Amino acid sequence: MMPSMRTTLTLDDDLAGLLKQRAQELGVPFKEAVNRAIRTGLGDAAKGRPGPAPKTIPHSFGFRPGVDPDKLGQLADELEAEAFAEKTHDFARRKRSRSRA
């Protein structure tokens, strides 16, 4: 028997009715009818991976001295703010030069 995961699933009323009807037709519990329908819908993807999972090889890129990896998000924010300020400044300068012409 395959391991199972218990979860809450919200179904549309019409879909729940169709699944209940299918379960009665097949003489299986509702849960089994839902699992079969999902497997059929997923097709080949539900069969699983054909071989072993790919192996991930970690690599340490390291950081130059003085670079704090905990502050990389802050650095990215500052660079983004600078780029926005330059873009806004250029736009304002172009707008002023057009209005003088």
Q: How far apart are the first and last CA of the chain?
A: 80
Q: Which letter does DSSP use for residue 75 in this model?
A: H
- Cβ atoms of residues 23 and 32 within 8 Å: yes
- Cβ atoms of residues 57 and 49 within 8 Å: no
Q: Which letter does DSSP use for residue 78 in this model?
A: H
Q: Which letter does DSSP use for residue 73 in this model?
A: H
What's the pLDDT at 53?
A: 75
Tokens 């299918």 correspond to what residue?
A: 22
What's the pLDDT at 46?
A: 60
Q: Which candidate, 79, 75, 54, places its Cα nearest to that of 66?
A: 75
Query: Per residue in 4-46, pLDDT tens?
Result: 788 898 999 999 999 999 999 999 999 999 999 998 888 866 6
Query: Per residue in 45-97, pLDDT tens?
Result: 666 656 777 788 887 777 777 778 788 888 889 999 999 988 887 766 666 66
Q: Which candidate, 34, 28, 27, 32, places its Cα nearest to that of 11?
A: 34
